[in-house]
């Protein structure tokens, strides 16, 4: 391995910690702060609660119902994202999301 390869990687590093930190956060990723994400997560939490209770009381029926609710939550989140309520969606472009 030549020393030129290591020098080129050293030369491209940011000069200080502030530059490195700024370059990491240049791109907005959304963090899921949208109605689609919130709805998806809340439905999935309800499904996890039902499934957990079903597991504790040893009821396969309630456990499976909870799993079904989790899948419904995923589908609702996906549909809401496609309808424009997700990150970068058309329904949220005017309110800062």
pLDDT digits (tens, 9 = 90+) for 63-96: 999 999 999 999 999 999 999 888 877 877 655 4
Contact of 44 with 74, CB cutoff 8 Å: yes
Q: How far is CA 19 from the centre of its chain?
A: 26
For 8-22, what is the mean pLDDT?
56
pLDDT of the residue at 97: 46
* 9/52: higher pLDDT: 52
Q: What's the whole-model pTM score?
A: 0.65
CA distance 58 to 50: 12
Mean pLDDT across 18-34 = 62
DSSP 27: S
């Amino acid at each position: 391995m030549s020393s030129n390869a290591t020098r080129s990687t050293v030369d491209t590093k940011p000069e200080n910690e502030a530059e490195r930190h700024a370059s990491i956060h240049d791109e907005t990723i959304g963090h899921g702060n949208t109605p689609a994400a919130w709805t998806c997560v809340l439905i999935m939490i309800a499904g996890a609660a039902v499934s957990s209770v079903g597991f504790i009381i040893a009821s396969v029926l309630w456990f499976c119902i909870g799993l079904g609710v989790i899948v419904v939550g995923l589908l609702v989140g996906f549909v809401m994202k496609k309808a424009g309520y997700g990150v970068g969606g058309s329904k949220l472009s005017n309110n800062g999301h």
